[in-house]
Amino acid sequence: MLVSATEMLKKAHEGHYAVAQFNINNLEWTKSVLKACEEMQSPVILGVSEGAAKYMCGFKTVAAMVKEIHDKMGITVPVALHLDHGTYEGAKACIEAGFTSVMFDGSHYSIEENIEKSKEIIAYAHSKGISVECEVGGIGGEEDGVTSMGEVADPEECRKINELGVDFLAAGIGNIHGKYPANWAGLNFEALAKIQAVTNGRPLVLHGGSGIPKDQILKAISLGVSKINVNTELQLEFAAATRKYIEEGKDLQGKGYDPRKLLAPGAEAIVNKCKLMVEEFGSAHKA
């Protein structure tokens, strides 16, 4: 059975490690992430963006697919199915579709509107035993060649969202989705420490977990980060392994063009990368 992310993140916060949110993009991704985490005996959060859900034919399809794969593979570690960067409508739809956790990202609204909408989603989700992540500040990224460092969250705004009873909180601390530019300033630990100080030990979430140096990951965990989101890194691993297979001409040997063979190296690369990250985040053997 899929579970909410509340319990696993509380334990992670108390135990000073982080649970990975690995974003899934299709069936292969789902199988690979679950395989890796079962082998590592690590709890895991499967993240699904609204775009990825659309690609996979909607929230209900995703929920049904993940539940069936989870059961069929006999997964025993705690697994949460979580909406990533959800809109207000998307979060409600996921709560109804069988997700066990949702993120409502109201960071682009005014703080008043973010509070208002977060409050509603939290009440609705909690009435069904579903965990909620909210966001304050912005996660940077690169768009059309313009690099944004994101907006560092205001601790006072974090305190206000925390008081709503959110289960875990994403706060911008200079983190970026996608590849980090060479001139990236690094995580803002001063801001992170201030945010944790006013959020009473609430588990914090680090988005943009791909490509952050290990020392910064460990420091973030020591300052209250209990959930780290990873998407790009697995995509790069998958693409590189698939490229190698094709460049070596393996798709042209025998029945190497069979999709089950063609996608196998990429799927295996995801398994290996997930295992390494789970080890680094400290959640191995914490199931």
Catalytic residues: 84
**Nearest residue to 45 (alpha-carbon basis) of 209, 252, 236:** 209
231 sits near ligand 13P (criterion: CB under 6 A): yes
Of the two residues 25 and 245, which places its CB atom closer to ligand 13P in the complex?
25
Signed CA dihedral, 212, 237, 21, 85: sign only: positive
191 sits near ligand 13P (criterion: CB under 6 A): no
Of the two residues 38 and 133, which places its CB atom closer to ligand 13P in the complex?
133
230 sits near ligand 13P (criterion: CB under 6 A): yes
232 sits near ligand 13P (criterion: CB under 6 A): yes
Of the two residues 179 and 261, which places its CB atom closer to ligand 13P in the complex?
179
Task: Give the span between the Cα atoms of 214 and 64, in whole angstroms.
Answer: 35
Task: Give the span between the Cα atoms of 217 and 196, in whole angstroms.
Answer: 16
Of the two residues 155 and 209, which places its CB atom closer to ligand 13P in the complex?
209
- Which one of 114-122, 146-154, 208-216, 274-282 is the stretch in contact with ligand 13P (CB under 6 A)? 208-216
25 sits near ligand 13P (criterion: CB under 6 A): no
Signed CA dihedral, 262, 268, 271, 272: sign only: negative
Q: CA torsion 212→214→215→221, rounded to 10°?
A: 80
Q: Pick one of 210, 226, 242, 283: the residue that binds ligand 13P (CB under 6 A).
A: 210
86 sits near ligand 13P (criterion: CB under 6 A): no
229 sits near ligand 13P (criterion: CB under 6 A): yes
196 sits near ligand 13P (criterion: CB under 6 A): no
107 sits near ligand 13P (criterion: CB under 6 A): no
SS3 84: strand
Of the two residues 205 and 267, which places its CB atom closer to ligand 13P in the complex?
205
- Distances from the Cα of 273 to the Cαs of 48, 51, 237, 267, in angstroms? 19, 23, 7, 10
| # binding residues, ligand 13P (CB under 6 A) | 15
Q: Max Cα separation, the chain?
A: 62
- The C-alpha angle 21, 25, 28, rounded to 5 degrees, equals 100
Q: Pick one of 177, 194, 202, 227: the residue that binds ligand 13P (CB under 6 A).
A: 177
50 sits near ligand 13P (criterion: CB under 6 A): no
Query: What are the backbone angles phi and psi of residue 135, rounded to the nearest 5°?
Result: -130, 140
42 sits near ligand 13P (criterion: CB under 6 A): no
- 107 in Cβ contact with 175 (< 8 Å): no
Judged by the rule CB under 6 A, the positions of this chain that interact with ligand 13P are 23, 47, 84-85, 177-178, 207-210, 229-233
